[in-house]
Amino acid sequence: MKTENQFEAANIRMEDQELTVLSFGAGQDSTYILYKIIRDPFYRARFVTGDFIVVMSDTGDEHDHTYEHVCFIAKLCSEYEIEFHFLTADQGYHPNTWQTLTSQMIRNSSIMSMMMPRSCTDNVKIKPFYNFLNVYIANKYYNQELPNSTRNKTWIKRFAADYGKINVILGIAAGEEKRVKESKTELKKRQLDLFVKVKRKNHIVWMMNCILKTYPMIAEGIDRKMAQDYILATPWPLPPPSNCKRCPFLSKQEILWMYRFIPAEFYEWVAMEQAKIDKCSGLVRNLGVKGEKLLPEILAEAIAEYGHWTNDQLHEYKMSHGHCVLSKF
């Protein structure tokens, strides 16, 4: 417990204290940004202010090649004296009901579906990221030891009030600008604010006041292909796009890839979907991953349409498709 004098000492304002955090997804966009920050001092000076850390939250359903890339990135960051934090469910930052993508589906007999709200990104990526950041700031800048289970934004708010907004770098490529636009609901609220004060959700208020979101790839006009070309010119690996194995937005080609190369995970996914269908059998609209057609039927269509593709063709296709492009940050 801090004494009053210690609390006052922690309250001293340091005008030049700044913090930049790269939200790392282990895909091609965030990898491009990290490589560029390491290799290009002018790029770093433009987009990084103050202390710099890299943070990634584990969904628990990443591909093996993604976890391999995370291991490489951890070593690379260590070599260049950059803090890298990989947040796994056992550390306590994830929501209690969303330890991993698949665990909550198994526990609740639910499924992530194209026809339902996309809540996975928020729960297994965004919430753990900011839960960690709050605890990290409390510990590093205010000498406060918090349990990782802390679920408020007190110290993020405190830091922003004392030193200014936290610079959070997001890997969104040029051509994906729709991901950073306001939703219709947010736009409507902002328009109404011209005439009457609207009660905003707490998460919108604290984020607007405390976080400065930075999109270097959009600022520089770098699309996915340009990022790939840059990475290939470095001595470091080009990772596949980052996406969960059981993402509802997988294409037919990717479902066929999953069936061929990780069939155990595919059939586990089929079982999860069927459990949801059985649980909700009394509903008028009982939808699966893709809607009314269930995964076995989608697989049959994929085999009929793309079964002639070679393994190399499927791997090449898989290398070019990620799905967090459907999420807003």
- pLDDT per residue over 116-149, tens digit each? 777 777 888 899 999 999 999 999 999 999 999 9
Look at 14-23, 122-131, 270-279, 303-312 and tell me which has the smallest mean pLDDT.
14-23
Who's near 150: CB < 8 A, 6+ residues apart?
A: 131, 134, 135, 138
Residue 158 CA, distance from chain mean position: 24
Q: What string of DSSP letters covers 201-217?
A: -HHHHHHHHHEEEE-HH
Q: Global pTM?
A: 0.84
What are 213-247's pLDDT values in tens digits? 999 999 999 999 999 999 999 999 999 988 889 99
Neighbour order of strands in the sheet with 211-214? 83-87, 51-57, 19-23, 166-170, 211-214
Nearest to 116 by CA among 325, 289, 236: 289
Q: Where are the domains of the chain?
A: 4-232, 252-326
Helix (H, G, I), strand (E, B) or coil at 125: helix
Nearest to 245 by CA among 312, 294, 318, 308: 318
For residues 55 and 93, the answer to whether their CB atoms sit within 8 Å is no
Report the percentage of the chain scoring pLDDT > 90: 69
pLDDT at 181: 52
Average pLDDT in the chain: 87
Report the percentage of the chain scoring pLDDT > 70: 85
Above 90 in pLDDT, residue 7?
Answer: no
For residues 137 and 159, the answer to whether their CB atoms sit within 8 Å is yes
pLDDT at 3: 43
Q: What are phi and psi of 218, to 5 degrees?
A: -70, -40
Above 70 in pLDDT, residue 184?
Answer: no
Nearest to 250 by CA among 301, 180, 187, 188: 301
pLDDT at 243: 85
Structural tokens at position 7: 């609390």
CATH topology of domain 4-232: Rossmann fold (3.40.50)
Give the model's confidence band at 30: pLDDT under 50 very low, under 70 low, under 90 confident, else very high. Answer: very high
For residues 255 and 88, the answer to whether their CB atoms sit within 8 Å is no
The residue with greater pLDDT, 98 or 183, is 98
